[in-house]
Structure 1
Amino acid sequence: MGQRRELFIDDFMVDVLEGELSYRLHSPQAEEMVIRQDKPWEGNASSYHTVFKDGDTYRMYYRGHNFDMSGGTLKFTHGECTCYAESADGIHWEKPELGLFEFAGSKKNNIVWMGPGSHNFSPFVDQRPDCPEEERLKATGGLAHNGGMRLFKSADGKRWTPVGDEGVITVGAFDSANIAFWDKSLGKYRAYYRIFTGGTTTAKVWKPGGIRAIRTAVSDDLIHWEGFQDLTYGDSPPQQMYTNNVISYDRAPHILVGFPMRYVERGWSPTMKALPDLQNRELRSEAHVRYGTALTETQIMTSRDGVRFKRWDEAFLRPGVERSDSWYYGHNNVAWNIALTSSRFENAEDELSFYAESGGWHGAGKILTRHSLRQDGFVSVHSTLKGGRLTTRPLTFSGSELELNLSTSALGYVKVECLTAEGTVVDTFGLDQADETFGDALSRKVTWDGWSGLKKLSGKPVRLRFTLSDADLYSFKFV
């Protein structure tokens, strides 16, 4: 593993888990409303947000569109467009007047793209080492009926140019957020996009069948794609994945993490009718029953090879407290990518920020709410006070110290033993010499009798055995 950071978001590093230990899925906590998409061109059907930091600027892109549900039919009041916002901190956002595209006779708007691709325009920073500066930003977008997944390029993130006249991936459904990015661990681009498991979804015939699913492919140049495979989820039961939102996690780039929106059609029931905003829910159902009775939420999944995913079946971000703009089709769809932002607590570590949708369908535009999570905080190995032990698979590291991302109670702790690959305790690194490590920190050094040095074990196959009591262990890393 060298000096890679390893997370407990899966069991890849775990050989034995014993005692009162379990994997615990953690959920982001709602913070503040960061943006309201209330301009006429943004509308109440804005969606498919992308957020990322580019230099000192946080950039946000999203679809502008508007529904008219009056009369029990679904109508669009204007065509789709791609809107833009920016921020210095990822919390306070501005929508600049760009003067690039005309809407209702005026260019005083924040529109950066109109035309094919606007339904699901998904930009990213191209991190390929030799990417030309004039096209350092790329985007994908498009639907089956207008060429499939198209490619766009930009130097400044505001002025975009199509790459070619046709889609770069043409077989699929694409009626969702389809994304691509450079995977530096693989040394290739990856794409993830919408398919259906049955039926036909082409430019000429739209008769999808089966369930919504995700397909992936790889490329050296974003133009020519190969290795097409459908994602698998082990023993997780079939579920409808509306989006994928896969990223290479920055603090552990060899680990891919996705935040798909789970789509659930529940139909009418007494409880469905007890959910908020019944009048509008029934109005939407006049156009199509699922518009009123489908529910959505965000899940989390992770992979080491980009195809076989560990999907946590419990929700990562539930619909939450019932209010007029929650518990509906499209609610809590999170933006693609995670932003690293400052904590609201002074001197606290930076945190991961997710941006989730609420509102929409009727009246004014949607609201985007920021949700926060500790770094690496997706899943932990959790222990009761009675505790237990976790033993890793054999590993070879480089460095001289071990750091833990952990959270304990005032009484709780983590202790670490070093074992040979065969399981024998290494002299001076046993349980009796291990100091109790406690607190709530992203990088807490481990010590044995007050000494943190591990250099003599560097480059040799070893196992780590963690003893936990009333603690959560999120990740570990040698430095």
Structure 2
Amino acid sequence: MTSTPPEKQNPTVLNYMDAKPDHREMGLCYAVSTDGIHWEKPDLGLLEFGGNKRNNILMRHVHGAGVFKDDRETNPARRYKMLFCGEPQMTVAFSADGLNWSRSIPIPEIEAHGTHANAFWAPDLGKYVGFTRQHARRGSDSIRQVIRTESPDFVHWTQDKFVLEGPTPRLQTHDMIVFPTCGIYLGLLGMMVHPEDSRFRVKQHVELTWSIDTITWNHVQAGTPLIGHSPARSETYGAMPYDWGTIFASAPVFRDNEIQLYYGAGDWYFFNWRKGYLALATLRPDGWAGYEPISAETPGVITTTPLTFFGDTVGVTADVRNGGSVRVSILDGAGNIQAASDPITDTITDGRVKWSKSQDVVGLRGEKIRLRFQLRNAKLYSFQIRREL
């Protein structure tokens, strides 16, 4: 049975399948890799499926599971933690090795229709924080919302509260993977795009959000994908690029020279049968978002809000191309230049700014200043005031 209108029923135009095939179910499986590119699915021999245990299944009847290794945990049996929808309710489980899991503990305080559940220890908050999804009503429309909950011990959780939703029923938040980094929290937000008031031709990409407390969230250039779809010249079922239809993010892996973003990809529309893939996107270090000039002909200028200059130098992360440059100035409260840098003409990661004419900026320590960045054919990702002397 399908809800595809009769006039649109053909092999390449499909809509939402209402029927669930026999012998199909959700599960959690295990794979290993030495390089993050080539993966193996070992025969674990833990659970029977299809009449034997020659498989890589960790759990059956599990939906939207989020697993993480808790390095601060003192109980070895709880080193690995999982938050998931256990059909029919949200639950948690623990493991010493990530393979053999405890019995599930139900969490009635969290919406039972959650998906892409994820949790972590928030050091500045001193508690575990979890995120998943719920359905809500806005008039006659059914919408999806990102919900948040917290716990002191990963067993007792607060009643979930909604923290983020899309602007319209045609642009909905589906899931958000949250993680702490650089003193704030970033969210990889799955956005469902409905071209029509139906489930027809729905796709999903990933955008970027940020928060200082995991409660109030801010969009980074809403509508602009952080991970977008691979393009295609034509639309033919079964012949589309691996991530043409859907993208579901996971928590990033931070390497010395890059940020790795593994994601689940689908080659067709959200509510249709599609092939699934594990995919990898990469960013340069600290390359989540940046400022660059709108026009290559005119330099871009960024001036910060007032900052306390507690150090003696500034570190900058930026891409510089085609003979471009980044120049940094320190301004006092009246807007006067107190120090100016030599031009930065190469791409750098947390590179130390060199002040022109060996200017001594130590005397500015403790003062309120502003930093001004002038960008020409360059993209500024981040900066930090450092104390080296």
2:328 and 2:373 mapped to 1: Cα distance?
5
Q: Does 1:151 align with 2:80?
A: no
Deviation, 1:362, is 4.9
Which residue does 1:334 correspond to in 2?
A: 248
After superposition, the Cα gap between the structure-2 partners of 1:72 and 1:228, relative to the gap in structure 1 and judged at 3 Å, is closer
Residue 211 of structure 1 pairs with residue 143 of structure 2? yes
Deviation at 1:450, TM superposition (A): 6.1
Q: How far did 1:120 drift?
A: 1.5
Helix, strand or coil for the counterpart of 2:35? coil
The one-character-per-residue Cα deviations of 1:321-342 (angstroms, maximum 9, x if unpaired) are 2263548999332332012358
Runs of 5+ consecutive residues of structure 2 not aligned to the other structure: 1-14
What TM-score do the two structures reach when normalised by structure 1?
0.67
Residue aligning to 1:197:
136
Q: Which structure's relative contact order is higher, taking Cα pairs within 8 Å and 6+ residues apart? A: 1
Query: Deviation of residue 186 (structure 1)?
Result: 2.1
Q: Which amino acid aligns with 1:246?
A: V
Q: Which residue of 2 aligns with 1:314?
A: 224
Provide the C-alpha distance between the structure 2 equivalents of 1:369 and 1:215, rounded to a whole number of angstroms. 26
- 1:109 equivalent in structure 2: 55
| 1:225 and 2:135 matched | no
Q: Give percent identity, aligned residues only.
A: 26
| Count of aligned pairs between the two proteins | 358
CA contact (8 A) 1:294 1:329 kept: no
- In structure 2, the CA distance between the partners of 1:377 and 1:266, relative to structure 1 (3 Å rule), is same
Q: Is the 8 A contact 1:296 1:329 kept in 2?
A: no
Match of 1:368 among 278, 281, 284: 278
Note closer, same or farther for the CA distance 1:92–1:327 as it changes in structure 2 (3 Å cut): closer
2:107 aligned partner, one-letter code? G
Partner of residue 266, structure 1: 195
Structure 2 counterparts to residues 233-312 of structure 1, below 5 A: 239-249=171-181, 252=182, 254-267=183-196, 290=199, 293-311=201-219, 312=222
Separation (CA, whole Å) in 1 of partners of 2:246 and 2:124:
30
What's 2:352 paired with? 445
Q: Once structures 1 and 2 are overlaid, which stretch shifts more, 390-399 or 256-265?
A: 390-399
Secondary structure, aligned partner of 1:315: coil
SS in 2 for 1:313: coil
1:99 corresponding residue in structure 2: 45
Q: Distance in 2 between matches of 1:422 and 1:444?
A: 28
Q: Distance in 1 between matches of 2:309 and 2:158?
A: 34
SS of the residue corresponding to residue 113 of structure 1 reads: strand
Q: Would the aligned equivalents of 1:410 and 1:439 in 2 still touch at CA under 8 Å? A: no
Verify the 8 A CA contact 1:319 1:326 in the aligned structure 2: no
Structure 1 position 133, deviation (Å): 2.8
Unaligned runs of 5+ in 1: 1-68, 200-207, 269-288, 343-348
d(CA) in 1 for partners of 2:167, 2:350: 33
The one-letter code matched in structure 2 to 1:259 is L
